Amino acid sequence: MKLLLKNMRIAETAVSDCEVSDVLIENGVISKVATSISCDADRVIDGEGKLFVAPGLVDMHVHFRDPGFTYKEDVLTGAQAAKAGGVTTVCCMPNTKPTIDNAETVSYIINKAKGTGVKVYPVGSITKGLSGKELCDYEELKASGVIAISDDGRPVENAEYMRKALEMSNDNGLCVISHCEDLNIINGGIINKGKVSEKLGVKGMDRASEDYITAREIALAMSCDARIHIAHVSTKGSVNIIRAAKKDGVKVTCETCPHYFTYTDEKLLSRDADYRMSPPLREEDDRIAVEQAVIDGTIDCIVTDHAPHSAEDKADFLTAPNGVVGLETSLAVTLTQLYHTSKLSMSEIINRMAVRPREILGLEGVSVKEGSIADLTVFDADYEWIVEPQKLSSKSKNSVFKGEKLKGRAIYTITDGNIVFELND
């Protein structure tokens, strides 16, 4: 297929606001980037100097619930949600049933993802069955297609097991991702511990649970000179710990989600379980710290921790599982909160959402340049819309941004030169 994108604003360049070019795609690869390209193409999309084109977004932290919990989401519906958000590559976490701790489950996910138009990379578990009792066979997992390892949903409670996993990562090259929440400190808490939890009369999750494990993982990584990636950063303390570690040369990277730099735990005053996730929404000082860390680059990536749950699961505020969907709103929220407020440039946003995740995971780079794989996101930064959960592609509708008016939206998603999503108003 020959696809011509005309009059597009190149989002990954520092001068993206003024650089308008045509992009020609042939056989899944960008063959030419120039002004005024004229050729016979199977399809021409004219951005009219208004639409941006960027490397396809990468969400390195999603839960597709497949296998085992497909009433919440599956690989097919999760991929559809990703495409609708301009995401061409995802990493799905291992807390499935069975756990992603064996080659058979990895193969199941990879095979089911074929033909979806989304590149789905399974994340293997650090310990078998997420039990924290026995390390997995990482060579087997890597050979079967795993790109990273994590016991996401819980920490590896035995520090020596975590240290060993980090040490082995120096040889196997797998990215080690840590869910930093000490379960003993949380001790049954369901929202952030603070004034809101006190007002609601519910047990809170002390931010020390996150800060402690963050500091532990950094110390362990230092001990064996290994890389560590900290998942979904939500506290001021973790931000400060990571920033200091980076200055000391520790090989630490990290991520956060749009809800952590947008909302605070005051959203929980509604007693709506759709605003519950792990780690939880924190307080304003934490929100500001996370936002600043995204702006200054301390936080490397913006992800979603896309965690679908059914309406029945979320019905009771006190007993509902934690987690929110986010693939379809991530770009829009980030543009609304950071680009349209002039806190980040377009190229910086694309760096956090497309470039850095590929670097951290060791994936081939994608760029709007000749010779690059044509995994692209075409979006309108000024497109205004209201998040209506029932219109989302995800099987579950537990969006923390429901009812919000956002500015920015993916219009086309292109994978290997093929249009795999097109917005139809």
Label residues 12-35 b or e (16+ Cβ within 10 Å = b). bbeebeeebbbbbbbeeebbebee
Which residues are tagged catalytic?
A: 305
Report residue 113 as tokens: 């993802």
* Tens digit of pLDDT at every position of the chain (425 positions): 899 999 999 998 665 455 799 999 999 999 999 999 999 999 999 999 999 999 999 999 999 999 999 999 999 999 999 999 999 999 999 999 999 999 999 999 999 999 999 999 999 999 999 999 999 999 999 999 999 999 998 999 999 999 999 999 999 999 999 999 999 999 999 999 999 999 999 999 999 999 999 999 999 999 999 999 999 999 999 999 999 999 999 999 999 999 999 999 999 999 999 999 999 999 999 999 999 999 999 999 999 999 999 999 999 999 999 999 999 999 999 999 999 999 999 999 999 999 999 999 999 999 999 999 999 999 999 999 999 999 999 999 999 999 999 999 999 999 999 999 999 97
Q: In angstroms, how far apart are the furthest CA atoms of the chain? A: 66
| Structural domains for the chain | 2-53+371-382+404-422 (2.30.40.10), 56-361 (3.20.20.140)
Give the per-residue pLDDT at 286.
98
Give the per-residue pLDDT at 16.
47
In this structure, are residues 260 and 282 in contact, taking their beta carbons and an 8 Å threshold?
yes
Give the per-residue pLDDT at 394.
98
pTM confidence score: 0.97
Contacts of 206 (CB under 8 A, 6+ apart): 185, 186, 189, 193
Q: Residue 152 carries which side chain, given as an amino acid letter?
A: D
Contacts of 13 (CB under 8 A, 6+ apart): 19, 347
Strand partners, 405: 386
